[in-house]
Amino acid sequence: MLAQAIAAQARPESFADLAEKVSPAVVNITTSTVVARGTGPSPIVPEGSPFEDFFRQFRDPDGEGRPRRSSALGSGFVISEDGYVVTNNHVIEKADEIVVELFSGEELEAEVVGTDPKTDIALLKVETDEPLDYVSFGDSDTARVGDWVIALGNPLGQGFSVSAGIVSARNRALSGTYDDYIQTDAAINRGNSGGPLFNMDGEVIGVNTAILSPSGGSIGIGFSMAANVVTRVVDQLQEYGETRRGWLGVRIQDVTEDVAEAIGMEEVRGALVTDVPEGPAREAGMKAGDVIVSFDGKDVEDTRGLVRQVGNTAVGKTVRVVVFRDGQTKTLKVTLGRREVAEGAVPAAQRGQEEPAEPSQMSLLGLELTPLTDELRAQLELNADAQGLVVKDVESMSQAYEKGMRAGDVITEAGQQKVTRVSELQAQIEEAREAGRKSILLLVRRGGEPRFVALSLTEQ
């Protein structure tokens, strides 16, 4: 009876007071875009098909092929009395005209201050003579699974609507690099995009962004971008009109159990550096094969965590990065660059030593290997200064095959040492055995992309 009484007290009798408090800051967003009409034949879609409405908007009943104006609906919320509005980037993307409808029914034209496609966040600005009702962000990290939440927005163009549910899960990732979604069973439908997810204190802890549904309607699996991600993005958009994320300048992959064993790590954690192109990390002395275990005083659990930590750090800040190298930790001081500037840059090729002659190929660890020659470099479209061992064939029953190695791969390092001859690889294998290792770590490149593969030393 006592447990039932406590549960009854925890369950709110009504969300009415909360909804009344926060609704004036929630807005409907209508966008308008000029779309060119096609002159070709329209697709034939069965009546009642879910694609019928989609194709209807592209039909030209007059057959004149003239441009037309297409409209879309979404939601948003005001975060300051002077008219800053947050919504999803996909709500306003490519729009020629954006109209914000306030709770009172008043309509205002909005200008785009800035957008961030990586988190699907956009910041708008409306001009008004009167101060606007607004809401504040809360600390999304304090939200617990099972907490009550309410979602407000404009579902399916029906106007202001409130739905309630709980936090179903935390720290969900969908497809983005910086994803940190709160999952909720509060009903979210098309048109809710960009609307706020509130906690019981009336604070915004998420921006409703996506749903998981085979039907297109809510089935109780909705995703809201966590407020602690959104606030950093909004602050930068408001100050600069764009995002400015920190950039370390490395390529990384997760540490697996066999990789940890191969390099002598006791714990399976951190981010394994596969390549260090020109940039902040190289200038600080970081090397391929290092495992980043701490960044700016915080432990690194995996690659996703490191990417978010770096991206959330100020450009130009000098941070301490602890790496595991050669059986011990080493602290490097790295001054971060800016990711937006660095993106799209092609890493500079690393110049190796002159290639010594290697008389013949050899089979090791289920791999048929041969040194790189000018002919093989041409066949594999490699740089003239590329060094390493080419995989000519892989035994189908070998561990190397199971781990994805294929003919055409190039092994550039073994045991975190450069290899250009088969004999050098053999030497690294023997050294690993003498050190009591059960596996050896290979740095493998395919199409220029590096990755580490740990192979058991029981195979020959």
Q: Which residues are catalytic?
A: 90, 120, 193
Q: Which of 352, 354, 368, 349 is nearest to 425 (CA)?
A: 368
Which tokens hold the place of 184? 């909720």
Q: Where are the beta strands (DSSP E) in 89-234?
A: 97-101, 107-116, 121-126, 148-153, 161-172, 181-184, 196-198, 204-211, 222-226
CA dist list (Å): 291 to 259, 299, 303, 313, 403: 10, 12, 10, 20, 20
Query: Residue 99: which of 174, 164, 154, 163 has the closest Cα?
Result: 154
Q: Tokens in use for 13? A: 């009798």
User: What residues does 363 pair with on adjacent strands?
Assistant: 368
According to DSSP, residue 286 is labeled: -
Pick from 87, 101, 179, 181: nearest CA to 143: 181
Cα–Cα–Cα angle for 192, 245, 177, nearest 5°? 55
User: What span, in angstroms and rounded, lies between the C-alpha atoms of 20 and 200?
Assistant: 12
Report whether 182 contacts 197 (CB < 8 A).
yes
